Amino acid sequence: MPHGPDVTFSPPSRIGEREFVLMIAMMQAMQALAIDAMLPALGDIALDLHAAHANDRQLIVGGFLVGSGLGSLVPGVLSDRYGRRPVLFVCLGAYFLLNVACALATSMTMLITLRVITGFFTSGMTVLPAAMIRDRFEGDRMARLQSMVSMIFLLVPALAPSLGQAVLLFAGWRWVFGIMAIMSAGLLLWSVLRLSESVTAENRQQISVSAIFHNMRDIVTTRESFGYVLALSAAATMFFNFLSTAQQLIGEHFGAGRMFPLFFAFLAGSMIIASLTNARLVMRFGARRVSHTALLSFIVVGAIQAYFAFGPHQSLIQFAVLTALTLGLTAFITANFTAIALQPFGRTAGAASSVLAFMRMVIGAVGGLIIGSMYDGSARPLAVTIMGAGLFALAFVLWSEKGRLFRRLHYPPQQG
């Protein structure tokens, strides 16, 4: 049956497009919640569990991200063979159990270890939504749907610090993990009842060492895709460094204190607006034109951020406005680069999404932790990271596109 970029070609779903977008957005949002809801509680956790050093609190976030990156190679391959549904259900179940375990942690080492394991076993909540979108859509339509998902799921990290702060007002930090466990149980039930399988029988892949390496090799040797995977990894380094140091930087260095959740919501709000805008622009101008413009703008804003960061008197307002612009541009870059990177891989979308998530998460998390450990009580390390990430991403995109930016590719109908 012929289909084009705007045609659904998965098996009939029990749910419509809007509910599908909302559901997979919430799956990704649970990963974001596991990071951002922690931020107001990091100081209390470090104090209660007797952290040896002030920067050790970053490992509660960074360890989760590293675990998620290491685990992301697994769910895509398994879902290509067994389908998205069963792998997703295992991820959601593990998320529930491990957050209960985190709530009962008795030492910093135990909590960080559990967070790494949580990230590993729930990595599918990052990998599988992108694969499920690719199962159903392609081209600019896929980029638009990814932007709609991003717009919805970003509402959670925008509100997550406020949720964490509210929990701290009425209960201890352990209940932050308890709330996440309860929410994951509800999402699991919703998915079991409503989500249909999107991998057709003819697209099921065999699990073998040779098949896995063949799929992985295809991805890393496909120039038009791999350059964008590396560019996403560079952008992720900046973003994860920001997440790891946000509480120290905004709450302590700039003195926001308990106003930190409000400033964080403002920053996350810029990503929501950008995702909504991208969903409209990408269908008119194409994913490449929009994302390449965003990347060049990202570099310019990064240079301005560095100018103020290395100046004598950077204010919280200056930092917040420039960081909001940076994060908004990151939303443009992430949604479109993801769609471009996955476009060549229809039958192996799970494996492709896994490799993309693995590289983005591992490189981003490790790089973010290394730079985060250099935190010196100023915004200078973050500013340097923004500039470096932008320049590296531009180099990777130029390599992938053979030096030609702003092209728009048209996707002709294919035979399904």
Domain ranges of the chain: 15-403
Q: How confident is the model at residue 7 (pLDDT cuts 50, 70, 90)?
A: very low
Q: Is 3 helix (H, G, I), strand (E, B) or coil?
A: strand
**Mean of pLDDT values over 269-282:** 84
Q: Which two tokens stand for residue 392?
A: 């590296």
Q: Structure pTM? A: 0.70
Nearest-angstrom CA–CA distance, 213 and 221: 12
The answer, yes or no, to whether residue 185 has pLDDT greater than 80, is yes
The pLDDT, as a whole number, for residue 353 is 72
The pLDDT, as a whole number, for residue 396 is 95
Lookup result for tokens 């804003």: 301
Q: Which of 13-27, 54-68, 70-84, 325-339 has the highest mean pLDDT?
A: 325-339
Task: Report CA-CA distances (Å) from 75 to 191, 359, 393, 401.
Answer: 17, 14, 27, 29
Q: Which two tokens stand for residue 395?
A: 């180099």
Q: Which of 2-16, 116-130, 340-354 has the highest mean pLDDT?
A: 116-130
31-35, 93-97, 185-189: range with lowest mean pLDDT? 31-35
**Mean of pLDDT values over 218-226:** 82
Lookup result for tokens 């992430």: 334
Q: Work out the percent of the chain whose per-residue pLDDT is above 70.
A: 85
The pLDDT, as a whole number, for residue 101 is 95
Q: Which two tokens stand for residue 308?
A: 């103020």
Torsion of Cα atoms, 31 then 158 then 130 then 338, to 10° = -120
**Mean of pLDDT values over 309-323:** 88
Q: How many CB atoms lie within 10 A of CB 162?
A: 17
**Mean of pLDDT values over 233-244:** 87
The answer, yes or no, to whether residue 123 has pLDDT greater than 80, is yes
Residue range 349-390, pLDDT digits in tens: 667 777 777 788 788 878 877 887 777 778 888 899 999 999
The residue that leads in pLDDT, 29 or 212, is 29
Burial of 255 (0-12, 13-18, 19+ CB in 10 A): exposed
Per CATH, is 15-403 categorized as 3.90.1150.10?
no
Tell me which DSSP letter residue 292 carries.
Answer: H
